[in-house]
Amino acid sequence: MNKEKRIQILQRLRENNPNPTTELEFNSPFELLVAVLLSAQATDVSVNKATRLLYPVANTPQAIFDLGVDGVKQYIKTIGLFNSKAENLIKTCRILIDQHNSIVPENRDALEALPGVGRKTANVVLNTAFGWLKDNEGKYFIAVDTHIQRVANRTGYAKGKTVEETEQSIIKNTPNKSEFMFDLHHWLILHGRYTCVARKPKCGSCIIEDLCEFKEKTE
């Protein structure tokens, strides 16, 4: 795929959704951090259902920590892997209280040091909560999940066998980074969630079908 085709893809995605954002519901960086932590191997819909019950009761590190592991489980038990997520959330809250004055740090290393928080979660928080386009070292980044991994590889926009390889390929191949990188995560994830779905992509209603290099297109 050449630069011109990638630019057209990005322009169409932007025209279709000029101001994309996460479908996770949050009102603070901490609420977003919790939601993304809970979203691993779970849908945003299921996470939102849980946090709508949790956040009115506890939406700060201290308040959630005070609930304890068993208390948190009562609110998130409908989410996959809720046992380990509850434990990680309590440990994360303890670190935020003790080391960061209950404030979510704007720092990749500090974020990734939190239990249950990996590179993808850190990238989402830095991008969506704080508006970061580049990391602490001045390097562009993008949070890559299974949707983005699939869309990037299937369309030919970027190639990578792992999420890390795909992230670097997306960054390398995205033209006009200052113009497109900030919203690219949301464009790709939403496209993968609703159009370029896993089992049978909806190619017939895809706004970038003619630009996509997927050889097994559906009607």
Q: Please report, in tens digits, the pLDDT of each residue of the chain (219 residues total).
A: 999 999 999 999 999 999 999 999 999 999 999 999 999 889 999 999 999 999 999 999 999 999 999 999 999 999 999 999 999 999 999 999 999 999 999 999 999 999 999 999 999 999 999 999 998 889 999 999 999 999 999 999 999 999 999 999 999 999 999 999 999 999 999 999 999 999 999 999 999 999 999 999 987
Q: Please report the pLDDT score of residue 116 as a whole number.
A: 92
Q: Please report the pLDDT score of residue 137 as a whole number.
A: 86
Q: Which residues contact 160 (CB under 8 A, 6 or more apart)?
A: 149, 152, 153, 166, 167, 168, 169
Burial of 46 (0-12, 13-18, 19+ CB in 10 A): middle
Q: How many CB atoms are closer than 10 A to CB 57? A: 12
Q: Please report the pLDDT score of residue 17 as a whole number.
A: 97
In 3-state terms, what secondary structure has residue 140?
Answer: strand
Task: State the catalytic residue, choosing from 145, 161, 172, 200.
Answer: 145
206 is known to lie in a ligand binding site: yes
Q: Is 215 annotated as catalytic? A: no
Task: State the catalytic residue, choosing from 49, 66, 120, 215.
Answer: 120
Q: Is 217 annotated as catalytic? A: no
93 is known to lie in a ligand binding site: no
Q: Please report the pLDDT score of residue 88 as a whole number.
A: 97
Q: Please report the pLDDT score of residue 151 as a whole number.
A: 98
pTM for the predicted model, two decimal places: 0.91
Q: Please report the pLDDT score of residue 97 as a whole number.
A: 98
30 and 38 Cβ atoms separated by less than 8 Å: no
Q: Among residues 159, 143, 153, 162, which one has the least CA distance to residue 198?
A: 153
